[in-house]
Amino acid sequence: MALGEFELIERFFTWPTPRAVLGVDDDCAVLAPTPGMQLCVSSDMLVEGRHFLSTVDPQRLGHKALAVNLSDLAACGADPLAFTLALALPRADERLAEGLAQGLFALAGRHGIELVGGDTTAGPLNLCITVIGQVPAGQALLRSGARAGDELWVSGTLGDARAALEVFRGTLEVSGEAFTALRRAMELPEPRVALGQRLRGIASSAIDVSDGLLGDLGHILRRSGVGARLDVNALPRSAVLAGLPPALQQECLLHGGDDYELLFTLPAAVAAEVGSILSPEVPLHCIGRIEAGRGVQCQRGGRAVSVPTAGYDHFA
């Protein structure tokens, strides 16, 4: 049975919005930010064939579309408030819409973020979400605050999503169990929202790792006008990744996209006190140090190694 545009919106994408003044239903949503807070706004689009495979489970796709956006709020240290969803669907497919909605709202509920509007159109499957969060005025974490002497830290593990992609591409073979774990990392990233909030007033800079560690570190370094020394051996990796050939491991760790971990800098005095206790939900690792100068110097066991530094660029 084919559903109309408004039926689709009403059945699958209209949920209660107790925090918003007005949610889905009018020409605009109306929000009431807490006095004294600044808004943080970010959009990320997921396009079939480019960001996900046509075979992906709709529930996982719904999760990921919101997760990658929440990850941007996390990188700014923001408290999630509201989001909009611009959705193109090839057909008014109930199973697809219901799956997407389940994935979206399960994650939204855990982070207290409300769907307050959007747009729905026919077209190649495409999800564009805009998230709105808030931070106490002047406290948003930025890419520009890293200083020579700061320690460089990362949450979780890196590289699994890229390894999963290599399995899908047919360039890597792993056991069924290992593939399940890698695929989970690729399809169900957990945005580090609580960590980002805790880093406010503590971290000197932060970014989420979405386009590969070296590329995203490069953004911090350029915006901050500093360089960094990175210890490749210290990069945190899953047991599955640690079992892959060393050259592939290094590629996944340094250049793999879709990690959605937080990369941040801590002034050394702060790091000594809080580095290990900042985050009960996810392990944190010190992976290097900010230095005067430019660019990244990669080291392995104290010896310099040379690696290309470009991150992912859709038009390169």
* 273 is an interface residue for ligand ADP by CB under 6 A: no
Nearer to Mg ion, 119 or 273 (CB): 119
d(CA 249, CA 259): 14
Pairing of strands 205-209, 284-291: unpaired
d(CA 46, CA 226): 32
First to last CA, the chain: 43
d(CA 181, CA 20): 37
Nearer to ligand ADP, 117 or 311 (CB): 117
Burial 192-222 (b: 16+ CB within 10 A, else e): bbebbbbbbebbbbbbbbbbbbbbbbbbbbe
Task: Tell me which of ligand ADP, Mg ion, none is bound by residue 313, counting a contact when its beta carbon lies within the kind-specific cut-off of 5 to 8 angstroms.
Answer: none
Instruction: Give how far the C-alpha of residue 237 lies from the chain's centroid of Cα atoms, to the nearest Å.
Output: 17
Instruction: List the one residue from 5, 7, 25, 119 that touches Mg ion (CB under 5 A).
Output: 119
* 120 is an interface residue for ligand ADP by CB under 6 A: yes
> Alpha-carbon Rg of the chain, whole angstroms?
20
Task: Tell me which of Mg ion, ligand ADP, none is bound by residue 165, counting a contact when its beta carbon lies within the kind-specific cut-off of 5 to 8 angstroms.
Answer: none
Nearer to ligand ADP, 7 or 119 (CB): 119
Instruction: List the one residue from 87, 152, 161, 209 that touches ligand ADP (CB under 6 A).
Output: 87
The site map against ligand ADP for 22-41 (x = CB under 6 A) is --xxxx--------------
Nearer to ligand ADP, 18 or 302 (CB): 18
Instruction: List the one residue from 67, 104, 115, 284 that touches ligand ADP (CB under 6 A).
Output: 115
* 103 is an interface residue for ligand ADP by CB under 6 A: no
* 153 is an interface residue for ligand ADP by CB under 6 A: no
Cβ(248)–Cβ(164) below 8 Å: no
Q: The tokens of 138 are what?
A: 């002047």
Number of H helices, E strands in the chain: 10, 11
Stretch that binds ligand ADP, among 18-26, 188-196, 224-232, 266-274 (CB under 6 A): 18-26
**Where in 194-253 is the site for ligand ADP (CB under 6 A)?**
none
* 5 is an interface residue for Mg ion by CB under 5 A: no
